[in-house]
Amino acid sequence: MDALMLDGNAVAGLLQEVFAVEMTTALGTCGNCGATDAVGAIHVYRGAGTVMRCPHCDTVLMTIVEDDTRVLIGFQGVRTLQVTT
């Protein structure tokens, strides 16, 4: 793992606030390579925002940017996201 990279568990609290369910066990499918993994297994990079990448092909799956009043989430590389309620 890269020193700046974390796993999907690093954004579990933020995702749970937004989705109101446990997200580390949600299954995401990469729109590029088709791999399916738990959100807790994806690669997370933090900087000005948060970038989540596929652990298999490094495609950007999701981006999260927060300010004082909003959370902006992009799902540009996610084909499907399966959440258990």
What's the pLDDT tens digit per position in 41-81?
Answer: 999 999 889 999 999 999 999 999 989 999 899 999 999 99
**Sequence letter at residue 59:** T
Query: What total of structural domains would you count in the chain?
Result: 1
pLDDT of residue 3: 65
3-state secondary structure 4-63: CEEEHHHHHHHHHHHHCCCCCCCEEEECCCCCEEEHHHCEEEECCCEEEECCCCCCEEEE
Residues 6+ apart with CB under 8 A from 1: 7, 43
To the nearest 10°, report the CA torsion of 80, 67, 55, 26.
-40
Domain range enclosing 69: 5-82
Residue 29 has pLDDT above 70, yes or no: yes
Angle at 77 between CA 42 and CA 16, to 5 degrees: 50
Q: What is the pTM of this model?
A: 0.80
Q: If DSSP codes are grouped into helix, strand and coil, which group holds residue 83? A: coil
